[in-house]
Structure 1
Amino acid sequence: MSSRAPRLAAGLLTTLIVVGGGYYWYFMREIPVRTAAPEQNVEVRVFGIGTIEAQVVSKVGFQITGKLIAIEADQGEVVKAGALLAKLDDDAQRAKLRKSEAAQQQAAANLAKTQAQRERAEVTYQQKKSVNLRRQTLVGRGSVSQEAAEDAQAAEEIALGDARIIEADTRVAAVLQDDAASQRQIDAVVLAQHELRAPFDARVIARSKELGGIANAGEAVFTLIAPASIWVKAYVDEALAGGLSIGQRAFVRLRSEPNRTFETEVVRIDQENDRLTEERRVYVRCRVCNPEHQIRYLGEQAEVEIVKKIIPSSLFVPLKFVEGYDGRSGTIWTLQEGRLARQRVQFGERLLDGRIQITSDVQGQVVADDRTDLREGRAARPRSGS
């Protein structure tokens, strides 16, 4: 009995030493912790999901119905303004134009003829007027008979009537010439409508007709976009959209090229949010892209990061190290004079990587460590390189 007591005492002592050492090791010893240091020129970015779109999209087709005899463009091609895209069979319309040109020439000849007749009638009238004036003078002197004077008067009046008739014929001929010219212009316009030309510098993104097919009036044959009008329409959570403005830098990452980013800028912000999704529509456009740039496939999904502001200098802490965060404030661990302490602080901007800006004054150093053995008042020291 007496021999067992020392052994029990020794075992109990050993257990107490082990437990006490473990307690000290886990709860009391000084521990190294990672601390946050002030960061310089930190970009505050806002994330959005969107698609590639074009501001200027035009579905072009013919104003008349006809058979396609030529197609000069296909999807993916870049065309200049006025370039021929397609053409309809125009033989019948060319014949109409030649007929209207002949009618215009005939009207011009008729006008020239009536103008010559008018000049002749004017000369005849003046001659009859002069003869009548002389005979009316002589009849008073008795040198000519009354009958001759009356004949001269009648001849003048007949010549005046003929001149007026020819003048009216001349005006009719002028009107007929204008009508023929107008008809020729109409036929020329209709002939031009047999050709489909690009209304602006564009890229063809769709062609819906083939050679030999019938194109109906008003039916789209090509879909064109203005390459310079391509942009990304992104949807940004309205809770994060405060501070967005025109001209801010943005970076686009395409779904087809997730490892590349393209620098863009904000060019439009819709004045009305989407009431259903509670998002704001923001449009960004490439700064240096040419028409053959990768950002040219409409409808492709893209991720957008907009640089809302740059913070010159501030402290940031990962949100996972904040307790009781309510959107404006929360509690963090700090290291003050070698001891751990909790502190309630105010927060500002939130970064895309999950860190959040501390805007209020902090006593000591901010602890950014995921250790589970942090205790109020425990001794600690900054970890080397943190």
Structure 2
Amino acid sequence: MSLSLPRARVIVPLLAALVLVAFAVWWLLLRAVAVPMATAQSGALPSQVHGPGTLQARVATTVAARINGRIVKLHADQGETVAADALLATLDTAETLNRQHSAKAAVTAALHQETAAEATVRHAQATLKLAEQDIARTRSLFKQGLVAKAELDKAVAAEATARGALASARATLKARQAEVARARAEIDVLDTQLGYAQVTAPFAGLIVRRYAEPGQTVSPGTPLFRLIDPSTLWVVMRVDESQSGAIKVGQPARIRLRTGAEVRGHVARIGLQSDTTTRELEVDVALDKAPQRYAIDEEALVAIRTGQAKGALFPASAVLRRGTQTGVLRVAGGRAVFTPIELGTVANGKAVATSGLKPGARIITRPTGIKPGTRVKPAKAPAR
């Protein structure tokens, strides 16, 4: 029986729409998407704490000028290794030498004044001794009635005057001696300052920066060089409080510098003061051996090995995060199922789930774009 033309015009589009709907349902719900899969294995990986940091030196100092002066010569430059007490810079000493000559002349003059004061004291002592003898004799004669009271009073006054003159002479001598001491102290200070004109390295090390240039006038405290001991290099690392409990002094670490160098190290010190804003604390990781090339304050990434994480081992590419949850897409009944896990550690392209995933479970190794509930099938291995 043939359909009439009007009915055919209605039924044919309807059938076509039903076919499209059926195809869409099959495409969205029934079609299995080919995805790469892997089977979780029982295993372990070294557990690690990762964090950023900067390269520093535990033993470091800024060598600065200690006197006013002009830089006559710089004997070292940044990048050079110097020995302890090595000459680094020479400052102009002309002004200090002039002051030293003046101070020596002041000492000579003060010594002459001291000698004169000593002579005055000796003279006053002799005068007092004569006055004391005279008053003793006059008192004896006065008792015998051989001299008048006026003579005795005169002798007493002379003795008092001589005693006062001696006290004054001794005070003058003391003042002259103080002047000599001050002048000699000034010479000692200037001698020390002349020594400061020769700027030397306080310890053997590497000059990482030169701040000054020849001809520059400097004052006390002006930086000249930055010196470090390369054997004390370490990375000042920042670690979240939640991870710090697993870190112990002596644990091995792997350090990757921004320049690309990779070196080994170990935990040397753990800070006890946490940052109230970032909730991080400082961990100092010492380098076992300095790399050939590095820069102080260079950025670094540190991985501290804190032990081993055991559980279900699987490719790290399978790790998926949904909001605050970490998990994987496990294959169950031919469909993708989001499974939350406790991630132990990730290393060398592998990950360990310490809970939430059992060995033998099939998981999707590249879950990007795959939604939970999607029908999946193993992707064919590429032909070689």
Asked whether the two chains share a fold, i.e. TM above 0.5, the reply is yes
Q: Specify the alignment match of 2:304 in structure 1.
A: 306
Q: What is the alpha-carbon distance in structure 1 between the residues aligned to residue 230 and residue 67 of structure 2?
A: 28
Other-structure match for 2:377? none
| Identical counterparts, % of pairs | 22
Aligned ranges for residues 244-323 of structure 1 at < 5 Å?
245-247=247-249, 248-258=251-261, 260-265=262-267, 267-268=269-270, 271-272=274-275, 280=280, 282-289=282-289, 293-294=291-292, 296-311=294-309, 313-318=310-315, 320-321=317-318
Asked if 1 retains the 8 angstrom alpha-carbon contact of 2:209 and 2:226, the reply is yes
Separation of aligned partners in 2, 1:306 and 1:340: 38
Q: Do the aligned residues in 2 keep the contact of 1:233 with 1:281 (CA within 8 Å)?
A: no
Computed over aligned residues only, the root mean square deviation of the Cα atoms, in angstroms, reads: 4.1
Asked if structure 1 preserves the Cα contact closer than 8 Å seen for 2:121 and 2:166, the reply is yes
Match of 1:261, SS state, is strand
Q: Deviations over 1:282-326 (max 9, x none)?
A: 554334336xx4364224443322223323x43222355578866
Q: Establish whether residue 225 from structure 1 lines up as the match of residue 223 from structure 2.
A: no
1:216 corresponds, among 200, 203, 218, to 218
Question: How far off its partner does 1:111 sit?
Answer: 2.6
For residues 71 and 330 of structure 1, what CA distance do their matches in structure 2 show? 63
* 1:130 aligned onto 2:128: no
Q: In the aligned structure 2, how far is the partner of 1:324 from the partner of 1:121?
A: 103
Please state how far the C-alpha of 1:132 moved relative to its aligned partner.
0.8
Q: Which amino acid aligns with 1:316?
A: L
2:204 matches 1:169: no
- Summarize the Cα distance change of 1:273–1:234 in structure 2 as closer, same or farther, 3 Å threshold: farther
3-state SS, counterpart of residue 358 of structure 1: strand
Work out whether residues 235 and 281 of structure 1, in 8 Å CA contact, stay in contact via their aligned partners in 2: yes
Cα gap change, 1:284 to 1:250, in 2 (>3 Å): farther
Aligned to 2:190: 187
Deviation at 1:84, TM superposition (A): 2.9
**Relative to 1, partners in 2 of residues 1:210 and 1:331: Cα closer, same or farther, differing over 3 Å?**
closer
Report the Cα distance in structure 2 between the residues aligned to 1:126 and 1:138, rounded to whole angstroms: 19
| Inter-partner Cα distance in structure 2 for 1:144 and 1:322 | 127
2:194 aligned counterpart, secondary structure: helix
Q: Point out where structure 2 has 5 or more consecutive residues left out of the alignment.
A: 1-36, 368-384
Amino acid at match of 1:38: S
1:39 maps to which of 39, 43, 52: 43
For structure 1, which runs of at least 5 residues remain unmatched after alignment? 1-32, 373-386
Tell me how far apart the structure 1 counterparts of residues 230 and 163 of structure 2 sit (CA, whole Å). 70
TM-score normalised by length of structure 1 = 0.68
* CA spacing shift, 1:324–1:126, aligned 2, 3 Å: closer
CA contact (8 A) 1:250 1:284 kept: no
| SS of match in other structure, 1:294 | coil
- Match among 77, 88, 96 for residue 91 of structure 2: 88
- Matched residues in 1 for 2:91 and 2:131: separation? 62
After the TM superposition, which residues 13-52 of structure 1 pair with which residues of structure 2 at under 5 Å, given as runs?
Answer: 35-40=39-44, 42-52=45-55
Letter in 2 for 1:143: L
Query: Are the structure 2 counterparts of residues 262 and 294 from structure 1 closer, same or farther at C-alpha, using a change threshold of 3 Å?
Result: farther
Check 1:150–1:162 CA distance in 2 against 1; reply closer, same or farther (3 A cut): same
Q: TM-score, normalised by structure 2?
A: 0.68
Alignment of 1:325-336 (within 5 A): 327=325, 332-333=330-331
Quickly say closer, same or farther: Cα 1:186–1:35, change in 2 above 3 A: same
Q: Number of paired residues?
A: 329
Are the aligned partners of 1:45 and 1:305 in contact in 2 as well (CA < 8 Å)? Answer: yes
3-state DSSP of counterpart to 2:306: strand
CA shift in 2, pair 1:283/1:231, >3 Å? farther
Change (3 A) 1:167 1:38: same
Change (3 A) 1:299 1:162: closer
Deviation, 1:176, is 1.4
Preserved contact between residue 42 and residue 312 of structure 2 (Cα < 8 Å): yes
Alpha-carbon distance, 1:167 to partner? 1.5
Deviation larger for 280-289 or 302-311? 280-289
Measure the CA separation in 2 of the matches of 1:45 and 1:243.
12
The CA distance in 2 between the partners of 1:74 and 1:371, in whole Å, is: 54
Question: Residues 39 and 84 of structure 1: is their aligned pair in 2 closer, same or farther, counting only changes over 3 Å?
Answer: same
Please list the CA deviations of residues 15-42 of structure 1 after superposition, one character each: whole Å capped at 9, or x if unmatched: xxxxxxxxxxxxxxxxxx96444325x3
Change (3 A) 1:346 1:222: closer
- 1-side partners of 2:190 and 2:177: how far apart? 20
AA aligned to 1:351 is: V
Structure 1 residues 130 and 139: CA distance shift in structure 2, 3 A:
same
SS of residue matched to 2:361: strand
CA, structure 1 residues 354+361, in 2 after alignment: closer, same or farther (shift >3 Å)?
closer
2:327–2:338 CA contact under 8 A, matched in 1:
no
Aligned residue for 2:355? Answer: 359
Query: What SS does structure 1 have at the residue aligned with 2:101?
Result: helix
